[in-house]
Each structure stands twice: as structure tokens, then as C-alpha cells.
Amino acid sequence: RYLDTVADGSADDVAALYAEDATLEDPVGGGDVHIGRQAIAGCYKVMEGAEIKTELLNFRAGGHEAAFVFAITVGGGMRIEPIEV
């Protein structure tokens, strides 16, 4: 559901998948920590309107925790592979 929403949903749709007090950090992009759905939606706004494809690359779960690596391809050119925990 998350990957489909990243590819086809709005920034607010993606943020709605997070807990109200969730945090999102891009350790490569300066280390800013975005706290709460509104701040998280702001991170995803930059991708709105772009042609986006997502692909799950690896998933691991243990107990009540999970981590996964996926690919985001934007506009057929730029590809990033974030890790979500």
C-alpha cells in the first residue's frame, strides 16, 4: 500500500499512512528530522505531479518491527533507493 501510494497518491495521502507523531529523516539530505504528518507531507510534495514508479527490493520483519528497501524512479531518469524502518 505504501509503495502504491508513493507512486500514485498525493503527499497528504502518503503522510496519512504515518502515525500522527511519526518522524521522517533523510540522513543524506542534511539530517533534518520532520515530525508529524504535516511535516512529512511537505517532504513528499516535491514529487507531486511527477511520473513515479516504485519497486520493493528487500523486506525484513522481526517481532513488531520491519525494514525495507525500495526503489523510486522519477520521470524515467532519477532513481533512489531509500530504506524505511
pLDDT-derived band at 14 (thresholds 50, 70, 90) equals: very high
- One DSSP character per residue, 22-63 reads -EEE-TTTT--EEESHHHHHHHHGGGTTS-EEEEEEEEEEET
Give the domain ranges of the chain.
Answer: 2-84
Give, in words, the CATH class of 2-84: alpha beta
Residue-averaged pLDDT of the chain: 92
Which residues carry out catalysis? 2, 26
Task: Give percent of the chain above pLDDT 70.
Answer: 99
